[in-house]
Amino acid sequence: MALSKFTLCLGAIALLSSTLCFAHPGFGFGFGWGGGSGGSTGGGGGYSSLFPQFYQFTCPQVDEIILSVLEPTIARNPRMAASLLRLHFHDCFAQGCDASVLLDNGASIVSEKRSFPNINSLRGFEVIDEIKEKLEEACPGVVSCADVVALAARGSVMLSGGPNWELPLGRRDSKTASVSLSNNNIPPPNSTIQNLITLFQRQGLNEVDLVALSGGHTIGVARCFTFKQRLYNQNGNNQPDETLERTYSNELRSMCPPSGGDNNITPLDLASPARFDNAYFKLILWGKGLLTSDEVLLTGRVRKTMELVKAYADDEALFFEQFAKSMVKMGNLGPLTGSNGEVRKNCRRVN
């Protein structure tokens, strides 16, 4: 299915570097992911000192090496593209795009891998390791893990049939991780629209970024655990979510029984789970957005997000263009540059 798309992209190493440039820098349920009062990454979506040619002289093969790992991996396992895209999002929302999410527990590190949004959920770490090993062979100590994550996310979108864009580079890697920022800054799936807007605003991202980036749910899957309350008890009155389309709701119930089955998975975009397209927005219009956070973009009574869902459902090119721009903005959150941080040798631990 999605394989034909992947084949189309096979000769696309050159594409990854710069051509199609859309963008410029510029649970328990009823809950939240967990406790705590929030915090800021100090991100802001503004311009940063990152630039696309950062590795032009120090590691010109970087794009080629990224693709040499991504192509076979995603061809074998299309979901990995989704997992790598999500990894970048979860990295950037906790402490900025600094590869903090990749750190394992260590003497001074409590790993973000154990936060509510990440535990038993975030994946793709071994693909990042494989890329990093190849990069260390070709250009030792040069390409940061944070840039590897950003490049892997972009490559994954492109190899799934989505847009490509010029990606500013030069991020450095953190020497710290923050479970609390990961818990408090990454929105839970049962978020209200206000919740989503607030958590994105905290990062310097606006409603346009929220809707466009939510379009990342055009690929990948979610566990029953993350949307089950919609099927049985959305508002504490033992009724399903009335915004969820009936047939779809019944299908989901057979996949996710009232008790057990929490780790069963189902596509976020049931129409084309491995293809990066605008079907996600069409499904929302039909009441077939999987997570509460997907459906409230339309039903949350915020005119701006509602209009954007319709616009992206109508016009895939418009979605692609904005997605690319918002990815650049998200990728610019709180990067470490200059002499801050380090370039890790092994993405799982500080040097």
Q: What stretches of the chain show up as alpha helix (H) in DSSP?
A: 3-8, 13-17, 62-76, 79-93, 125-138, 145-159, 179-185, 193-201, 207-214, 229-232, 246-255, 279-285, 292-299, 303-314, 316-331
Of the candidates 223, 304, 345, 349, which one interacts with ligand HEM according to CB under 6 A? 223
Q: Interior CA angle at 91 toward 26 and 76, to 5°?
A: 105
Q: Do the annotations mark residue 78 as ligand-binding?
A: no
Of the candidates 182, 214, 278, 305, which one interacts with ligand HEM according to CB under 6 A? 214
Q: Give CA–CA dist 158/222, Å, rounded.
A: 21
Name which of 39 and 141 has its Cβ closer to ligand HEM: 39
Q: Give CA–CA dist 24/48, Å, rounded.
A: 11
Contact 162, 322 (CB under 8 A): no
Contact window for ligand HEM (CB under 6 A) among 43-51, 60-68, 130-138, 184-192: 184-192
Position of minimal CB gap to ligand HEM: 220
- CA distances 223 to 35, 117, 145, Å, are 21, 12, 28
Of the candidates 79, 282, 288, 325, which one interacts with ligand HEM according to CB under 6 A? 79
Cβ-proximal residues to 285 (8 Å cutoff; 6+ apart), any chain: 298, 309, 310, 313
With binding defined as CB under 6 A, does residue 226 bind ligand HEM? Answer: yes
Query: Which entry of 79, 86, 88, 90 is annotated as an active-site residue?
Result: 90
Of the candidates 5, 86, 134, 329, which one interacts with ligand HEM according to CB under 6 A? 86
Tokens of 218: 């055009």
Task: Identify residues 116-145 at the interface with ligand HEM (CB under 6 A).
Answer: 121, 123
With binding defined as CB under 6 A, does residue 221 bind ligand HEM? Answer: yes
Of the candidates 32, 96, 155, 220, which one interacts with ligand HEM according to CB under 6 A? 220
24 is catalytic: no
CB of 81 to ligand HEM, least distance (A): 8
Q: Give CA–CA dist 327/142, Å, rounded.
A: 23
Cβ-proximal residues to 62 (8 Å cutoff; 6+ apart), any chain: 55, 135, 139, 143, 147, 151
Task: Identify residues 242-281 at the interface with ligand HEM (CB under 6 A).
Answer: 268
With binding defined as CB under 6 A, does residue 189 bind ligand HEM? Answer: yes
With binding defined as CB under 6 A, does residue 230 bind ligand HEM? Answer: no
Contact window for ligand HEM (CB under 6 A) among 52-60, 85-93, 140-148, 244-252: 85-93
Q: So which residues are the catalytic ones?
A: 90
What residue ranges bind ligand HEM (CB under 6 A)?
79, 82-83, 85-86, 89, 121, 123, 187-189, 191, 196, 213-214, 216-217, 219-223, 226, 268, 291, 293
